[in-house]
C-alpha cells in the first residue's frame, strides 16, 4: 500500500529521474497509480523521461529551489537518487562530488524538514546509499552492521549522506531510510560504468563496428544485480511501519574478468583478442571485493532478487546487440 492515507493518488518525487534507477522507479510507481514528479538538472544528458512524469529543473547544489519544488509538489514519498555517481570521476571532481552527493542530500533533508513543519504532513524519504561505503571491506559478506571504510571522494560523500539520513530520523523523527544498494545494472546503465561499457563494446566488436575495448582493473569483484529488481526494494522500504536501513544485494560476487567471459562467450568471441589494459581507467584507491548479505531485506521486506548474473549479462548483450545492429545499418547507408 502506498504510504499516502488520502483517497487521491499518492504523490512521489524522484531526484535523478533521468538516471537508470530513476527510469525504472518511475515506471514502477506509475504502474502502482502514483502521480510522479522528477527532478532533473538542466544540463542532464540522461535517459528520456516517461511523459507522464512532471519534471522540475532544480539543482541539488541549490537549497532554495529544492524547497520550492518540495512545497509545490507536496510529495508523500521522496526517492533521492540524484548524485554525481561515478567513482572514478569523483577523484577528479572531489569538491563537486561532496557538494552534490553529500551536501545535496542535506539540502533536500532540510527542505523536507521545513515542509513537514509548515504543513504537518509526513514525507517519507529514501536515500540511495551505496555499497561503495564499505570500500576496503572489513568483512565479507557485508551487512547493515559492517563498518564503513570509504575509498573514494564519492564513497566519503555517500557516508556523509547516510549519516545525515540516520540523524534526521533520530533527531526529528523523520521517516527516512537508507537503501545500501550493491551494484545494479541493466540495458539502461550509463556507458561509463564497466558492465555497460563491456556489453556496448562487445556487441559493436561482434558486428565489426569496433575492434578494441580499453579497460582498467579486471580483478575487481562486484555483487551485480538487476536495477529493475532493486527499485522495488526502494519502494518496499517506504511502505513499512518503521523507517530502517537495508542492504540490497544478490549475495554473489564476480570479477570484471568473469563478466568479460560471460559477455564475450555468449557472443562467441574471445575477449583477450580485443581488450587492452589502460591505466587511465584505474582508480587511485580501488575497492577490491564487494558481496552483500540481504537477509534483512528478505526477512523484513520480503524482497529477493529475481535476475541472476548470467541472465543479467545476457539481457544487456541482447539489448546492445539491437543498438549495434541499428548503428550498422546507419554505417552502411553513410
**Choices 45-53, 136-144, 262-270, 281-289 (CB under 6 A): range interacting with ligand GDD:** 281-289
Shortest gap between Cβ of 221 and ligand GDD (angstroms)?
8
User: Which CB atom, from 73 or from 137, has the smaller least distance to ligand GDD?
Assistant: 137
User: Which CB atom, from 216 or from 265, has the smaller least distance to ligand GDD?
Assistant: 216
- Report the DSSP pairing between strands 35-39 and 11-15: parallel
Instruction: Name the DSSP letter for residue 281.
Output: G
Helix (H) or strand (E) holding 264: helix 256-266
Q: Does 181 bind ligand GDD (CB under 6 A)?
A: yes
Q: Across-strand partners of 254?
A: 222
**Choices 166-174, 178-186, 310-318, 320-328 (CB under 6 A): range interacting with ligand GDD:** 178-186
Q: Report in angstroms the alpha-carbon separations of 305 from 60, 94, 184, 195, 273.
A: 31, 33, 11, 18, 34
Start-to-end C-alpha separation, the chain: 53
Contact pick of 41, 46, 61, 216 for ligand GDD (by CB under 6 A): 216
Q: Across-strand partners of 213?
A: 275
Angle of helix 256-266 relative to helix 309-332, nearest 10 degrees? 60
Q: Does 172 bind ligand GDD (CB under 6 A)?
A: no
What would the x/- binding string for ligand GDD be over residues 76 to 115, using CB under 6 A?
Answer: ---------x-xx---------------------------
User: Which CB atom, from 19 or from 63, has the smaller least distance to ligand GDD?
Assistant: 19
Query: Could you tell me which residues come within 8 angstroms of residue 47 by beta carbon, excluding any fewer than 6 positions away?
Result: 18, 19, 20, 22, 23, 188
Query: Where along the sequence are the contacts to ligand GDD (CB under 6 A)?
Result: 85, 87-88, 130-132, 181-183, 192-194, 197, 215-217, 220, 222, 256, 281, 283, 286-287
Q: Which residues are catalytic?
A: 130, 132, 154
Amino acid at each position: 500500500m502506498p504510504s499516502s492515507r488520502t483517497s487521491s493518488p499518492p504523490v512521489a518525487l524522484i531526484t535523478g529521474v533521468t538516471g537508470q534507477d530513476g527510469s525504472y522507479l518511475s515506471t514502477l510507481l506509475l504502474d502502482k497509480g502514483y502521480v510522479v514528479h522528477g527532478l532533473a538538472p538542466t544540463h542532464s544528458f540522461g535517459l528520456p523521461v516517461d511523459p507522464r512524469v512532471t519534471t522540475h529543473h532544480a539543482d541539488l547544489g541549490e537549497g532554495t529551489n529544492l524547497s520550492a519544488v518540495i512545497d509545490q509538489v507536496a510529495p508523500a514519498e521522496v526517492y533521492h537518487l540524484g548524485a554525481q555517481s561515478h567513482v572514478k570521476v569523483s577523484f577528479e571532481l572531489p569538491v563537486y562530488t561532496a557538494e552534490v552527493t553529500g551536501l545535496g542530500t542535506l539540502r533536500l533533508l532540510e527542505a523536507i524538514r521545513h515542509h513537514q513543519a509548515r504543513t504537518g504532513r509526513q514525507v517519507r524519504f529514501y536515500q540511495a546509499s551505496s555499497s561503495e561505503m564499505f570500500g576496503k571491506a572489513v568483512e565479507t559478506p557485508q551487512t547493515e552492521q559492517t563498518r564503513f571504510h570509504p575509498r573514494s571522494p564519492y564513497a566519503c560523500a555517500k557516508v556523509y549522506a547516510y549519516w545525515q539520513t540516520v540523524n534526521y530520523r533520530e533527531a526529528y523523527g523523520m521517516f527516512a531510510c537508507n537503501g545500501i544498494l550493491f551494484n545494479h545494472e541493466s540495458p539502461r546503465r550509463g556507458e561509463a560504468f564497466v558492465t555497460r561499457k563491456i556489453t556496448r563494446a562487445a556487441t559493436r566488436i561482434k558486428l565489426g563496428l569496433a575492434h578494441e575495448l580499453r579497460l582498467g582493473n579486471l580483478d575487481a569483484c562486484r555483487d551485480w544485480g538487476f536495477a529493475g529488481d532493486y527499485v522495488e526494494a526502494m519502494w518496499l522500504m517506504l511502505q513499512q511501519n518503521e523507517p530502517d536501513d537495508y542492504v540490497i544485494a544478490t549475495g554473489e560476487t564476480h570479477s570484471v574478468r568473469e563478466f568479460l567471459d560471460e559477455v564475450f562467450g555468449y557472443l562467441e568471441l574471445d575477449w583477450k583478442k580485443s581488450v587492452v589494459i589502460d591505466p587511465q581507467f584505474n582508480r587511485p584507491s580501488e575497492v577490491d571485493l564487494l558481496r552483500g548479505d540481504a537477509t534483512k531485506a528478505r526477512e523484513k521486506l520480503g524482497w529477493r532478487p529475481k535476475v541472476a548474473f548470467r541472465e543479467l549479462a545476457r539481457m544487456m548483450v541482447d539489448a546492445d546487440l539491437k543498438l549495434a545492429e541499428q548503428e550498422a545499418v546507419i554505417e552502411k547507408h553513410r
